[in-house]
Structure 1
Amino acid sequence: MFHEQKERLMIGRLTGTLAHFRTDSIIIDVGGVGYLVHVSHTARNHLYAAHLNDPQARHTLFIETYVREDQFTLFGFLTEEEQTLFGLLTTVQGVGNKMALNLLGQMPPAQLAHAILAQDKASLQRAQGVGARLAERLCSELKNKIMHLEGIMHASPTTPTEPPAPPSKRTIKKAPTPSPIAPSIADDTIAALTQLGYDRSRAYEAAHKAMRNHEGAELSVEHLVKEALRLL
Protein backbone atom coordinates (compact mmCIF):
# COMPACT_ATOMS: atom_id res chain seq x y z
CA MET A 1 0.00 0.00 0.00
CA PHE A 2 1.38 3.36 -0.98
CA HIS A 3 1.26 6.26 1.43
CA GLU A 4 1.21 9.84 0.31
CA GLN A 5 4.71 11.28 0.27
CA LYS A 6 4.86 14.89 1.37
CA GLU A 7 7.95 15.58 -0.66
CA ARG A 8 8.48 19.09 -1.90
CA LEU A 9 10.10 19.16 -5.32
CA MET A 10 11.44 22.03 -7.39
CA ILE A 11 8.15 23.88 -7.93
CA GLY A 12 7.67 26.33 -5.06
CA ARG A 13 5.90 29.16 -6.84
CA LEU A 14 4.17 29.80 -10.16
CA THR A 15 3.48 33.16 -11.80
CA GLY A 16 1.38 33.44 -14.93
CA THR A 17 -2.03 34.14 -16.42
CA LEU A 18 -5.18 32.21 -15.54
CA ALA A 19 -6.24 30.01 -18.44
CA HIS A 20 -9.08 27.84 -17.12
CA PHE A 21 -11.21 27.30 -14.02
CA ARG A 22 -12.63 24.05 -12.66
CA THR A 23 -14.63 23.30 -9.51
CA ASP A 24 -11.61 22.75 -7.27
CA SER A 25 -8.68 23.69 -9.48
CA ILE A 26 -7.36 26.20 -11.98
CA ILE A 27 -4.94 26.09 -14.89
CA ILE A 28 -2.25 28.74 -14.77
CA ASP A 29 -0.30 29.45 -17.96
CA VAL A 30 3.40 29.96 -17.30
CA GLY A 31 5.44 30.60 -20.42
CA GLY A 32 3.04 28.64 -22.61
CA VAL A 33 2.82 25.66 -20.23
CA GLY A 34 -0.47 25.11 -18.42
CA TYR A 35 -0.16 23.84 -14.85
CA LEU A 36 -3.19 22.25 -13.20
CA VAL A 37 -3.24 23.53 -9.62
CA HIS A 38 -5.70 22.48 -6.91
CA VAL A 39 -6.91 25.41 -4.81
CA SER A 40 -9.44 26.07 -2.07
CA HIS A 41 -12.93 27.27 -2.95
CA THR A 42 -12.10 30.68 -1.47
CA ALA A 43 -8.90 31.01 -3.51
CA ARG A 44 -10.67 29.90 -6.69
CA ASN A 45 -13.38 32.53 -6.27
CA HIS A 46 -10.79 35.20 -5.55
CA LEU A 47 -8.82 34.31 -8.68
CA TYR A 48 -11.94 34.06 -10.82
CA ALA A 49 -13.07 37.54 -9.79
CA ALA A 50 -9.60 38.91 -10.54
CA HIS A 51 -9.61 37.16 -13.93
CA LEU A 52 -12.96 38.70 -14.86
CA ASN A 53 -11.57 42.11 -13.99
CA ASP A 54 -8.40 41.63 -16.07
CA PRO A 55 -8.02 38.38 -18.08
CA GLN A 56 -4.39 39.18 -18.95
CA ALA A 57 -3.24 39.90 -15.41
CA ARG A 58 -0.45 37.76 -13.99
CA HIS A 59 -0.96 36.03 -10.67
CA THR A 60 1.41 34.32 -8.25
CA LEU A 61 0.58 31.10 -6.45
CA PHE A 62 2.70 29.54 -3.72
CA ILE A 63 2.94 25.83 -4.49
CA GLU A 64 3.09 22.59 -2.54
CA THR A 65 4.05 19.64 -4.75
CA TYR A 66 3.06 16.10 -3.81
CA VAL A 67 3.95 12.78 -5.40
CA ARG A 68 1.88 9.63 -4.93
CA GLU A 69 2.70 6.60 -7.03
CA ASP A 70 2.72 8.04 -10.56
CA GLN A 71 0.66 11.14 -9.74
CA PHE A 72 2.23 14.58 -9.63
CA THR A 73 -0.15 16.98 -7.86
CA LEU A 74 0.17 20.72 -7.28
CA PHE A 75 -1.65 22.66 -4.56
CA GLY A 76 -1.71 26.43 -4.83
CA PHE A 77 -2.14 29.23 -2.29
CA LEU A 78 -2.56 32.98 -2.49
CA THR A 79 -0.31 33.66 0.50
CA GLU A 80 2.45 31.96 2.43
CA GLU A 81 0.22 32.06 5.51
CA GLU A 82 -2.41 30.00 3.70
CA GLN A 83 0.30 27.59 2.55
CA THR A 84 1.71 27.25 6.07
CA LEU A 85 -1.74 26.60 7.53
CA PHE A 86 -2.38 23.95 4.86
CA GLY A 87 0.80 22.18 5.94
CA LEU A 88 -0.22 22.28 9.59
CA LEU A 89 -3.71 20.98 8.85
CA THR A 90 -2.33 17.94 7.03
CA THR A 91 -0.28 16.95 10.09
CA VAL A 92 -3.52 16.07 11.90
CA GLN A 93 -4.64 12.45 11.58
CA GLY A 94 -7.64 12.25 9.27
CA VAL A 95 -6.84 15.46 7.40
CA GLY A 96 -5.62 14.85 3.87
CA ASN A 97 -4.98 17.40 1.16
CA LYS A 98 -8.62 17.53 0.06
CA MET A 99 -9.88 17.96 3.62
CA ALA A 100 -7.34 20.73 4.26
CA LEU A 101 -8.57 22.58 1.16
CA ASN A 102 -12.17 22.13 2.34
CA LEU A 103 -11.27 23.80 5.63
CA LEU A 104 -9.44 26.65 3.89
CA GLY A 105 -12.40 27.04 1.55
CA GLN A 106 -14.82 27.35 4.46
CA MET A 107 -13.21 30.51 5.88
CA PRO A 108 -10.13 32.72 5.33
CA PRO A 109 -6.85 31.52 6.93
CA ALA A 110 -6.96 34.06 9.77
CA GLN A 111 -10.55 33.18 10.62
CA LEU A 112 -9.74 29.46 10.53
CA ALA A 113 -6.76 30.00 12.83
CA HIS A 114 -8.89 31.98 15.27
CA ALA A 115 -11.57 29.27 15.21
CA ILE A 116 -8.97 26.67 16.20
CA LEU A 117 -7.56 28.86 18.97
CA ALA A 118 -11.06 29.60 20.26
CA GLN A 119 -11.91 25.88 20.22
CA ASP A 120 -14.83 26.84 17.96
CA LYS A 121 -15.63 23.30 16.85
CA ALA A 122 -19.01 24.30 15.40
CA SER A 123 -17.34 26.55 12.82
CA LEU A 124 -14.84 23.83 11.89
CA GLN A 125 -17.63 21.29 11.41
CA ARG A 126 -19.17 23.45 8.70
CA ALA A 127 -16.41 22.23 6.38
CA GLN A 128 -17.40 19.18 4.36
CA GLY A 129 -16.24 15.94 5.99
CA VAL A 130 -15.31 17.45 9.37
CA GLY A 131 -17.11 15.75 12.25
CA ALA A 132 -17.02 16.32 15.99
CA ARG A 133 -13.99 14.08 16.63
CA LEU A 134 -11.92 15.60 13.85
CA ALA A 135 -12.82 19.12 14.98
CA GLU A 136 -11.65 18.17 18.47
CA ARG A 137 -8.33 16.86 17.11
CA LEU A 138 -7.79 20.00 15.05
CA CYS A 139 -8.26 22.20 18.10
CA SER A 140 -6.16 20.12 20.49
CA GLU A 141 -3.26 19.38 18.13
CA LEU A 142 -2.90 22.73 16.37
CA LYS A 143 -3.70 25.31 19.04
CA ASN A 144 -0.14 25.75 20.31
CA LYS A 145 1.39 25.62 16.82
CA ILE A 146 -0.94 28.25 15.36
CA MET A 147 -0.44 30.57 18.34
CA HIS A 148 3.13 31.25 17.16
CA LEU A 149 2.33 32.11 13.53
CA GLU A 150 2.64 35.88 13.44
CA GLY A 151 1.47 36.36 9.86
CA ILE A 152 -1.80 34.58 10.52
CA MET A 153 -2.44 35.78 14.06
CA HIS A 154 -1.97 39.47 13.24
CA ALA A 155 -4.44 39.37 10.35
CA SER A 156 -8.08 40.24 10.84
CA PRO A 157 -10.20 37.05 10.69
CA THR A 158 -12.61 38.69 8.24
CA THR A 159 -10.03 40.32 5.97
CA PRO A 160 -10.11 38.80 2.44
CA THR A 161 -6.95 37.03 1.38
CA GLU A 162 -4.83 39.19 -0.91
CA PRO A 163 -1.70 37.89 -2.67
CA PRO A 164 1.41 39.78 -1.46
CA ALA A 165 4.58 40.51 -3.33
CA PRO A 166 6.66 37.30 -3.25
CA PRO A 167 9.40 37.45 -0.57
CA SER A 168 12.85 36.07 -1.22
CA LYS A 169 12.58 33.47 1.54
CA ARG A 170 9.70 31.73 3.21
CA THR A 171 9.85 32.34 6.96
CA ILE A 172 7.60 31.65 9.90
CA LYS A 173 7.79 34.38 12.51
CA LYS A 174 6.94 33.91 16.14
CA ALA A 175 4.16 35.96 17.62
CA PRO A 176 4.77 38.20 20.63
CA THR A 177 4.33 36.80 24.13
CA PRO A 178 0.64 36.68 25.08
CA SER A 179 -0.81 39.00 27.73
CA PRO A 180 -0.09 37.88 31.31
CA ILE A 181 -3.78 38.10 32.30
CA ALA A 182 -4.82 34.83 33.95
CA PRO A 183 -6.19 32.22 31.50
CA SER A 184 -9.20 31.67 33.77
CA ILE A 185 -10.21 35.33 33.38
CA ALA A 186 -9.86 35.07 29.61
CA ASP A 187 -11.94 31.89 29.55
CA ASP A 188 -14.64 33.46 31.74
CA THR A 189 -14.71 36.52 29.48
CA ILE A 190 -15.14 34.36 26.37
CA ALA A 191 -17.87 32.35 28.11
CA ALA A 192 -19.71 35.55 29.04
CA LEU A 193 -19.55 36.83 25.46
CA THR A 194 -20.85 33.56 24.03
CA GLN A 195 -23.75 33.70 26.49
CA LEU A 196 -24.56 37.10 25.00
CA GLY A 197 -24.94 35.45 21.61
CA TYR A 198 -21.50 35.91 20.01
CA ASP A 199 -19.84 32.87 18.43
CA ARG A 200 -16.68 31.56 20.07
CA SER A 201 -14.34 32.76 17.32
CA ARG A 202 -15.49 36.38 17.57
CA ALA A 203 -15.59 36.20 21.36
CA TYR A 204 -12.05 34.82 21.48
CA GLU A 205 -10.71 37.50 19.14
CA ALA A 206 -12.38 40.36 21.03
CA ALA A 207 -11.38 39.07 24.47
CA HIS A 208 -7.73 38.64 23.55
CA LYS A 209 -7.58 41.98 21.76
CA ALA A 210 -8.98 43.64 24.88
CA MET A 211 -6.32 41.82 26.92
CA ARG A 212 -3.54 43.06 24.62
CA ASN A 213 -4.88 46.62 24.81
CA HIS A 214 -4.58 46.50 28.61
CA GLU A 215 -1.45 44.41 28.95
CA GLY A 216 -0.04 44.62 32.46
CA ALA A 217 -3.26 45.91 34.01
CA GLU A 218 -5.25 43.95 36.58
CA LEU A 219 -8.70 43.66 35.02
CA SER A 220 -11.74 41.78 36.21
CA VAL A 221 -13.95 39.66 33.98
CA GLU A 222 -16.55 42.42 34.08
CA HIS A 223 -14.08 45.02 32.82
CA LEU A 224 -12.76 42.72 30.11
CA VAL A 225 -16.28 41.94 28.92
CA LYS A 226 -17.03 45.66 28.65
CA GLU A 227 -13.81 46.28 26.72
CA ALA A 228 -14.45 43.32 24.44
CA LEU A 229 -18.00 44.47 23.71
CA ARG A 230 -16.61 47.78 22.47
CA LEU A 231 -14.60 45.84 19.91
CA LEU A 232 -17.48 43.71 18.65
Structure 2
Amino acid sequence: MIGRLTGTLAHFRTDSIIIDVMGVGYLVHVSHTARNHLYAAHLNDPQARHTLFIETYVREDQFTLFGFLTEEEQTLFGLLTTVQGVGNKMALNLLGQMPPAQLAHAILAQDKASLQRAQGVGARLAERICSELKNKIMHLEGIMHAPATPTDPPAPTPKRTSKKPPTPTPITPFIADDAIAALTQLGYDRSRAYEAAHKAMRNHEGAELSVELLVKEALRLL
Protein backbone atom coordinates (compact mmCIF):
# COMPACT_ATOMS: atom_id res chain seq x y z
CA MET A 1 0.00 0.00 0.00
CA ILE A 2 1.18 3.52 -0.77
CA GLY A 3 1.27 5.81 2.28
CA ARG A 4 3.18 8.83 1.02
CA LEU A 5 4.54 10.21 -2.25
CA THR A 6 7.22 12.85 -2.78
CA GLY A 7 8.01 14.24 -6.20
CA THR A 8 7.47 17.03 -8.71
CA LEU A 9 4.09 18.07 -10.05
CA ALA A 10 3.66 17.02 -13.67
CA HIS A 11 0.03 17.71 -14.56
CA PHE A 12 -3.18 19.17 -13.13
CA ARG A 13 -6.74 18.02 -13.78
CA THR A 14 -10.12 19.13 -12.47
CA ASP A 15 -10.05 16.96 -9.34
CA SER A 16 -6.63 15.34 -9.46
CA ILE A 17 -2.94 15.87 -10.10
CA ILE A 18 -0.13 13.76 -11.47
CA ILE A 19 2.96 13.66 -9.27
CA ASP A 20 6.20 12.44 -10.83
CA VAL A 21 8.19 10.20 -8.48
CA MET A 22 11.49 9.12 -10.01
CA GLY A 23 10.03 9.02 -13.50
CA VAL A 24 6.74 7.35 -12.56
CA GLY A 25 3.60 9.49 -12.73
CA TYR A 26 0.97 8.79 -10.06
CA LEU A 27 -2.58 10.04 -10.59
CA VAL A 28 -3.76 11.32 -7.20
CA HIS A 29 -7.23 12.68 -6.41
CA VAL A 30 -7.10 15.78 -4.21
CA SER A 31 -9.50 18.37 -2.81
CA HIS A 32 -10.19 21.65 -4.59
CA THR A 33 -8.19 23.53 -1.94
CA ALA A 34 -5.21 21.20 -2.16
CA ARG A 35 -5.12 21.41 -5.95
CA ASN A 36 -5.12 25.21 -5.90
CA HIS A 37 -2.36 25.26 -3.27
CA LEU A 38 -0.22 22.86 -5.28
CA TYR A 39 -0.83 24.73 -8.54
CA ALA A 40 0.22 28.04 -6.99
CA ALA A 41 3.36 26.39 -5.60
CA HIS A 42 4.07 24.85 -9.01
CA LEU A 43 3.84 28.24 -10.70
CA ASN A 44 6.32 29.61 -8.19
CA ASP A 45 8.82 26.75 -8.71
CA PRO A 46 7.98 24.06 -11.31
CA GLN A 47 10.89 21.88 -10.16
CA ALA A 48 10.02 21.93 -6.45
CA ARG A 49 9.32 18.59 -4.76
CA HIS A 50 6.11 18.14 -2.81
CA THR A 51 4.92 15.49 -0.36
CA LEU A 52 1.40 14.08 -0.32
CA PHE A 53 0.01 11.79 2.35
CA ILE A 54 -1.83 8.99 0.56
CA GLU A 55 -4.93 6.90 1.15
CA THR A 56 -4.97 3.88 -1.17
CA TYR A 57 -8.24 2.26 -2.22
CA VAL A 58 -8.06 -1.07 -4.03
CA ARG A 59 -10.97 -2.82 -5.70
CA GLU A 60 -11.06 -5.70 -8.13
CA ASP A 61 -10.89 -3.46 -11.17
CA GLN A 62 -9.68 -0.18 -9.68
CA PHE A 63 -6.66 1.20 -7.84
CA THR A 64 -7.28 4.75 -6.61
CA LEU A 65 -5.04 7.17 -4.72
CA PHE A 66 -6.27 10.11 -2.63
CA GLY A 67 -3.72 12.73 -1.58
CA PHE A 68 -3.57 15.20 1.30
CA LEU A 69 -1.31 18.11 2.19
CA THR A 70 -1.29 17.31 5.91
CA GLU A 71 -1.82 14.28 8.13
CA GLU A 72 -4.72 16.10 9.82
CA GLU A 73 -6.50 16.44 6.47
CA GLN A 74 -5.92 12.73 5.83
CA THR A 75 -7.30 11.78 9.26
CA LEU A 76 -10.43 13.87 8.76
CA PHE A 77 -10.95 12.30 5.33
CA GLY A 78 -10.89 8.87 6.95
CA LEU A 79 -13.43 9.93 9.57
CA LEU A 80 -15.77 11.44 7.00
CA THR A 81 -15.84 8.27 4.94
CA THR A 82 -17.07 6.28 7.96
CA VAL A 83 -20.37 8.15 7.76
CA GLN A 84 -23.03 6.40 5.71
CA GLY A 85 -23.62 8.35 2.51
CA VAL A 86 -20.19 9.99 2.48
CA GLY A 87 -18.00 8.47 -0.20
CA ASN A 88 -14.48 9.43 -1.16
CA LYS A 89 -15.60 12.13 -3.59
CA MET A 90 -18.01 13.64 -1.07
CA ALA A 91 -15.29 13.71 1.59
CA LEU A 92 -12.98 15.58 -0.80
CA ASN A 93 -15.79 18.05 -1.55
CA LEU A 94 -16.12 18.78 2.17
CA LEU A 95 -12.36 19.21 2.59
CA GLY A 96 -12.31 21.49 -0.43
CA GLN A 97 -15.00 23.69 1.08
CA MET A 98 -13.04 24.66 4.21
CA PRO A 99 -9.72 23.90 5.98
CA PRO A 100 -9.59 20.82 8.26
CA ALA A 101 -9.68 22.84 11.50
CA GLN A 102 -12.66 24.89 10.30
CA LEU A 103 -14.49 21.76 9.17
CA ALA A 104 -13.85 20.11 12.54
CA HIS A 105 -15.16 23.19 14.36
CA ALA A 106 -18.27 23.20 12.14
CA ILE A 107 -18.99 19.58 13.06
CA LEU A 108 -18.48 20.22 16.79
CA ALA A 109 -20.71 23.30 16.64
CA GLN A 110 -23.36 21.33 14.70
CA ASP A 111 -23.08 23.97 11.97
CA LYS A 112 -25.02 22.06 9.33
CA ALA A 113 -25.36 25.10 7.06
CA SER A 114 -21.59 25.26 6.56
CA LEU A 115 -21.45 21.56 5.67
CA GLN A 116 -24.28 21.97 3.17
CA ARG A 117 -22.19 24.40 1.15
CA ALA A 118 -20.22 21.40 -0.09
CA GLN A 119 -21.53 19.91 -3.32
CA GLY A 120 -23.84 16.95 -2.74
CA VAL A 121 -24.34 17.49 1.00
CA GLY A 122 -27.99 17.91 1.94
CA ALA A 123 -29.64 18.68 5.27
CA ARG A 124 -30.04 15.04 6.35
CA LEU A 125 -26.48 14.10 5.47
CA ALA A 126 -25.10 17.20 7.21
CA GLU A 127 -27.03 16.23 10.35
CA ARG A 128 -25.70 12.67 10.17
CA ILE A 129 -22.10 13.89 9.81
CA CYS A 130 -22.44 16.14 12.85
CA SER A 131 -24.09 13.54 15.05
CA GLU A 132 -21.76 10.66 14.14
CA LEU A 133 -18.45 12.53 14.18
CA LYS A 134 -18.85 15.04 17.01
CA ASN A 135 -17.51 12.76 19.75
CA LYS A 136 -14.76 11.33 17.56
CA ILE A 137 -13.44 14.77 16.62
CA MET A 138 -13.43 15.95 20.25
CA HIS A 139 -10.61 13.47 20.89
CA LEU A 140 -8.48 14.65 17.96
CA GLU A 141 -6.77 17.73 19.35
CA GLY A 142 -4.35 18.01 16.43
CA ILE A 143 -7.09 18.60 13.88
CA MET A 144 -8.55 21.52 15.83
CA HIS A 145 -5.36 23.53 15.44
CA ALA A 146 -4.13 22.21 12.10
CA PRO A 147 -2.96 24.75 9.51
CA ALA A 148 -4.96 24.90 6.29
CA THR A 149 -1.88 24.01 4.24
CA PRO A 150 1.70 22.97 5.03
CA THR A 151 4.00 25.74 6.15
CA ASP A 152 6.28 26.63 3.31
CA PRO A 153 10.00 26.60 4.12
CA PRO A 154 11.71 29.99 4.35
CA ALA A 155 12.91 31.29 1.04
CA PRO A 156 16.68 31.06 0.53
CA THR A 157 18.67 34.25 0.87
CA PRO A 158 19.37 35.52 -2.65
CA LYS A 159 22.98 35.75 -3.69
CA ARG A 160 24.41 39.16 -4.36
CA THR A 161 24.82 39.89 -8.00
CA SER A 162 25.70 42.84 -10.12
CA LYS A 163 22.94 42.02 -12.58
CA LYS A 164 19.83 44.14 -12.51
CA PRO A 165 16.67 42.38 -11.33
CA PRO A 166 14.26 41.42 -14.11
CA THR A 167 11.65 44.03 -14.94
CA PRO A 168 8.11 42.84 -14.17
CA THR A 169 5.81 42.64 -17.15
CA PRO A 170 2.87 45.06 -17.04
CA ILE A 171 -0.59 43.53 -17.25
CA THR A 172 -1.75 43.38 -20.86
CA PRO A 173 -4.72 41.74 -22.59
CA PHE A 174 -2.37 38.97 -23.69
CA ILE A 175 -1.35 38.22 -20.09
CA ALA A 176 -5.01 38.18 -19.07
CA ASP A 177 -5.81 35.74 -21.89
CA ASP A 178 -2.95 33.45 -20.83
CA ALA A 179 -4.16 33.52 -17.23
CA ILE A 180 -7.73 32.68 -18.29
CA ALA A 181 -6.42 29.79 -20.41
CA ALA A 182 -4.46 28.44 -17.42
CA LEU A 183 -7.55 28.61 -15.19
CA THR A 184 -9.72 26.79 -17.73
CA GLN A 185 -7.08 24.06 -17.96
CA LEU A 186 -7.54 23.62 -14.21
CA GLY A 187 -11.21 22.85 -14.85
CA TYR A 188 -12.81 26.23 -14.16
CA ASP A 189 -15.64 27.44 -16.36
CA ARG A 190 -14.36 30.05 -18.80
CA SER A 191 -16.83 32.71 -17.64
CA ARG A 192 -15.74 32.24 -13.99
CA ALA A 193 -12.08 32.28 -15.02
CA TYR A 194 -12.63 35.48 -17.03
CA GLU A 195 -14.40 37.18 -14.13
CA ALA A 196 -11.74 36.17 -11.58
CA ALA A 197 -8.81 37.19 -13.81
CA HIS A 198 -10.26 40.60 -14.59
CA LYS A 199 -11.24 41.20 -10.96
CA ALA A 200 -7.65 40.39 -9.97
CA MET A 201 -6.46 42.88 -12.59
CA ARG A 202 -8.74 45.57 -11.17
CA ASN A 203 -7.52 44.83 -7.64
CA HIS A 204 -3.95 45.41 -8.81
CA GLU A 205 -4.60 48.24 -11.22
CA GLY A 206 -1.36 50.03 -12.02
CA ALA A 207 0.76 47.13 -10.76
CA GLU A 208 2.94 44.92 -12.90
CA LEU A 209 2.03 41.24 -12.72
CA SER A 210 3.25 38.19 -14.60
CA VAL A 211 0.87 35.50 -15.85
CA GLU A 212 1.85 33.33 -12.88
CA LEU A 213 1.07 36.02 -10.32
CA LEU A 214 -2.20 36.91 -12.03
CA VAL A 215 -3.28 33.25 -11.92
CA LYS A 216 -2.40 33.07 -8.20
CA GLU A 217 -4.48 36.17 -7.47
CA ALA A 218 -7.38 34.83 -9.53
CA LEU A 219 -7.29 31.50 -7.68
CA ARG A 220 -7.76 33.37 -4.40
CA LEU A 221 -11.04 34.71 -5.79
CA LEU A 222 -12.42 31.40 -7.03
Smaller-chain TM-score bracket = 0.5 to 0.7
- Contact 2:15–2:30 at 8 Å: present in 1 too? yes
The structure-2 alpha-carbon separation of the partners of 1:225 and 1:62, relative to structure 1 and needing over 3 Å to count, comes to: closer
Runs of 4 or more, structure 1, over 2 Å off, are: 157-232
Please list the CA deviations of residues 55-79 of structure 1 after superposition, one character each: whole Å capped at 9, or x if unmatched.
Answer: 0000000000001221000000000
How many Å apart are 1:200 and its aligned residue? 34
How many Å apart are 1:195 and its aligned residue? 43
The structure-2 alpha-carbon separation of the partners of 1:126 and 1:47, relative to structure 1 and needing over 3 Å to count, comes to: same
| SS of 1:181 mapped into structure 2 | coil
Distance 1:175 1:109 in 2: 39
- Contact 1:85–1:109 at 8 Å: present in 2 too? yes
Distance 1:173 1:140 in 2: 62
- Contact 2:169–2:210 at 8 Å: present in 1 too? no
- Contact 1:124–1:135 at 8 Å: present in 2 too? yes
Of 90-99 and 193-202, the range deviating more from structure 2? 193-202
- With structure 1 as the length reference, what TM-score do the two structures score? 0.64
1:107 aligns with 2:98: yes
Please list the CA deviations of residues 11-66 of structure 1 after superposition, one character each: whole Å capped at 9, or x if unmatched.
Answer: 10000000000000000000000000000000000000000000000000000000
- Structure 2: runs of 5 or more not aligned: none
- With structure 2 as the length reference, what TM-score do the two structures score? 0.67
The CA RMSD measured in Å over matched residues stands at 15.8
How many Å apart are 1:170 and its aligned residue? 42
- Structure 1: runs of 5 or more not aligned: 1-9
Distance 1:207 1:217 in 2: 14
Distance 1:208 1:222 in 2: 14
Number of equivalences:
222
Distance 2:75 2:172 in 1: 30
- Contact 2:170–2:207 at 8 Å: present in 1 too? no
Please list the CA deviations of residues 82-128 of structure 1 after superposition, one character each: whole Å capped at 9, or x if unmatched.
Answer: 00000000000000000000000000111100000010000000000
How many Å apart are 1:183 and its aligned residue? 57
| SS of 2:89 mapped into structure 1 | helix
Provide the residue aligned with 1:177 in structure 2: 167
The structure-2 alpha-carbon separation of the partners of 1:228 and 1:79, relative to structure 1 and needing over 3 Å to count, comes to: closer
The structure-2 alpha-carbon separation of the partners of 1:180 and 1:69, relative to structure 1 and needing over 3 Å to count, comes to: farther
- Contact 2:171–2:210 at 8 Å: present in 1 too? no
- Contact 2:57–2:64 at 8 Å: present in 1 too? yes
- Contact 2:13–2:186 at 8 Å: present in 1 too? no
- Contact 2:53–2:67 at 8 Å: present in 1 too? yes
